[in-house]
Chain A
Amino acid sequence: MADAIVTCAEVVRTFPSSDGTENRVLRGLDLEVQRGECVVIIGPSGCGKSTLLNILAGFDKPNSGTVTVAGNPVKGPGPDRAVVFQDYALLPWLTTLENVAVGLRIRGMRKKERLARAQQYLDIVGLGHVADREVYRLSGGMQQRVSIARALALEPSILLMDEPFGALDAIQRGIMHKELTRIRRETESTVLFITHSLEEAVYLGDRVIALSHGTAGAPTEVAVPLAYPRDPLSDEFTEIMRQVRALLPEEH
């Protein structure tokens, strides 16, 4: 294949459910994400979107199947797969800049070097001016941008984002959509993005993939061949929204 960063083949994940039967969340999922691509995953609640992301992040293990990222089998969490958490998960005892630099510190990078790199990524997310601010004093949207900068500073193979803007209000979310699009163009990052919002999916994605309960094989998908900036009110956009909605079961 072309240049797949992520390859999932026949991934199975079952959980024991309360009534003693097996909850077969993923039943042999196949998925590829190409370098530089933004793949958005949608699907009904409880269909296994977070489960898939946790497996890719290394927080969870599949019962069977193979998962490779940049050619390496996933064995556990690591900085080549940077996760952006819905609750930001920043460290309130560090300054904004130090929060971005903490992963580099763990990697053993010297102080001067890592702070310079952190500053560079803080600039990319548009927060260069608050580097020395207490991170907990920033707004929710700003905190999520710090968390994105922390992920970007790792220079990972892929960014994994599980409903990262779910805690933000509509205006902040709109700003973040523009920001993420710009950041992706500047850093040529590969992104796997989970959302409940079809509009968010079509706005951000190169491809929108729909999981269903117990996905087996390759999930259904819609390509989004729209140039940026995308206009959610345009006819092309609403047409693709319609196609994406058709991927989901009725009640969604």
Chain B
Amino acid sequence: MKPGLARRLLLGSVLPIALVAAWSLSSILELIPRTSLPAPWKVVEAFGTWIFGTGSGPYDGTWIEAICASGGRVLLGFSVALVLGVVLGVLAGYFRPFGELVDPFVQMLRPIPSTAWVPLTLVFFGFGFQGAVFLIALGAFFPIFLNTMEGIRGVTGSLTRVGRMLGSNTFQLLRHFVVPASLPNIFIGIRLSVGLSWVLVVVAEMLSVRAGIGYTLMDAYSMGRYDVIISAMITLGLLGFLSDRLVVIIQNSVLKWHRETSIQNG
């Protein structure tokens, strides 16, 4: 074990353990009525049934199904945002007139909260998969687009000079010089968007779609199953955390040069 890792694990677990301890204590002493906040062990039990249950309860064994439903929407919506955000961001960042055409329009749409799009989304895409994917793609597009565009605009003149000097045409200049140099910024956008995608899938599922973790969350609320609500919240936290880790792992391997050159520079 690396020195310092033990210490970090220990310190990092103090607050979560304290929270669970306080929660257990308040359940035992009934400080908060059990009907509004179930005991930790009740939640563990409900979580177990949600994941492994084979009975006939409404949530028994539906965990994987719910994850796949939400995850599929996130994956598709995010992928659409990634492709559109990077392609349009590169074009808007590199080609001035195209940027002047697209950028003001994007800046006009961006302040509208994604959640405010829900009614129109329902009108155009209905209560279902497409609506959720649209909402996620829309919300996740902006961070990727903006960070890509800024990254491209920040590429130094000497890099484009090298590219031209080596004989690149415009496509090769973007492919071999400008886009790789912008990857650190593009990854900032990707990380923000992945987090946002999980928020938006829950919004979509709570409001319209009839499957997924967000749907389970709302459904459990109407059934008064607070143990399931907390299980769903924990599930969302885990999914968000794991997808962020995945992005960071990819980022660290793709951008090894960036991490190491920035550490060298200070």
Q: A170 at the A/B interface (Cβ < 8 Å)? A: no
Does residue A227 face the partner (Cβ distance < 8 Å to B)?
A: no
From A77, A87, A92, B261 is in contact (CB under 8 Å) with A92
Instruction: Tell me whether A57 is interfacial, beta carbon within 8 Å.
Output: yes
A82 CB → nearest B CB, Å: 7
> In the complex, how many residues of chain A place their beta carbon closer than 8 angstroms to a beta carbon of chain B?
26
B158 touches A136 (CB 8 A): no
A106 near B167 with CB under 8 A, answer yes
* Cβ contacts B158-173/A at 8 Å (1 or 0 each): 1101101111100010
Is A175's CB within 8 Å of the partner chain B?
no
User: Is A81 a contact partner of B165 (Cβ separation < 8 A)?
Assistant: yes
- Per the 8 Å Cβ criterion, residues 44-83 of A in contact with B are 57-59, 76-79, 81-83
- CB pair B165–A78 under 8 Å, yes or no, is yes
Q: With A89-B158, A92-B258 as given contacts, are A82 and B168 in contact (CB-CB < 8 Å)?
A: no
Give B170-194 as 1s and 0s: 1 = Cβ < 8 Å from A's Cβ atoms. Answer: 0010001100100100000000000
Cα separation A159 to B176 with both chains bound (whole Å):
22
Cross-chain contact B162 with A89 (CB below 8 angstroms)? yes
- 28 A-B Cβ contacts within 8 A? A59-B161, A76-B164, A83-B161, A83-B162, A83-B165, A85-B158, A87-B158, A89-B158, A89-B161, A89-B162, A91-B159, A91-B176, A91-B180, A92-B257, A93-B180, A93-B257, A102-B176, A103-B167, A106-B166, A106-B167, A106-B168, A134-B256, A134-B257, A134-B260, A136-B257, A136-B264, A137-B260, A154-B167
Q: Are A85 and B257 in contact (CB under 8 A)?
A: no
Say how far B5's CB is from chain A's closest CB, in angstroms.
Answer: 26
B177's partner among A59, A81, A83, A91 (CB-CB below 8 A) is A91
* Chain B contacts to A: CB under 8 angstroms: 158-159, 161-162, 164-168, 172, 176-177, 180, 183, 256-258, 260-261, 264
Whether B167 lies near A136 (C-beta < 8 A) is: no
Cβ of B159: which chain A residues have Cβ within 8 Å of it? Answer: 89, 91
Residue A242 interfacial (CB < 8 Å): no
CA distance A89 to B161 in the complex (A): 9
- Shortest distance between the CB of B95 and any CB in chain A (Å): 18
Chain A residue numbers with a CB within 8 Å of B161 are 57, 59, 77, 83, 85, 89
Q: Which B residues lie within 8 Å of A78 (CB)?
A: 164-165, 167
CB contacts (< 8 Å) of A91 on chain B: these are 159, 162, 176-177, 180
Q: Are A136 and B164 within 8 A (Cβ)? A: no
**B177 proximity list for chain A (CB < 8 A):** 91
Do the beta carbons of B167 and A79 come within 8 Å of each other?
A: yes
The digit string for A96-132, where 1 denotes a CB below 8 A from any CB of B, is 0000001101110000000000000000000000000
Smallest CB separation, B89 vs chain A (Å): 19
Residue of B nearest to A107 (CB): B167
How far apart are the CA atoms of A237 and B261 in the complex, in Å? 41
A79: B residues at CB distance < 8 A: 165-167
Measured between beta carbons, the chain B residues less than 8 angstroms from A136 are: 257, 260-261, 264
Query: Which chain A residues lie closer than 8 Å to B166 at the CB level?
Result: 79, 102-103, 106, 150, 154
Q: Knowing A78-B165, A89-B159 are in contact, say whether A106-B260 is a contact too (CB < 8 A).
A: no
Give the residue name and chain of the A residue nearest to B175 (CB).
A106
Q: What CA separation (Å) do A82 and B167 show in the bound complex?
A: 10
Q: How far is the CA of A59 from the CA of B158 in the complex (A)?
A: 10
Residues from chain A with a CB closer than 8 A to the CB of B168 are 106
- Cα of A31 to Cα of B14 in the assembled complex, Å: 75
Docked-complex contact A106 and B176, CB < 8 angstroms: yes
B3 to chain A, nearest CB (A): 25
Q: Mark A29-51, 1 if CB is under 8 A from B, else 0.
A: 00000000000000000000000
CB proximity of B102 to chain A, nearest CB, Å: 27
A78 to B159, CA, bound (A): 14
For A106, list chain B residues within 8 Å (CB): 166-168, 172, 176
Chain B residue at minimum C-beta to C-beta distance from A90:
B162
Nearest 9 CB-CB pairs, A to B?
A103-B166, A77-B164, A92-B257, A79-B167, A89-B162, A89-B158, A77-B165, A93-B257, A83-B165
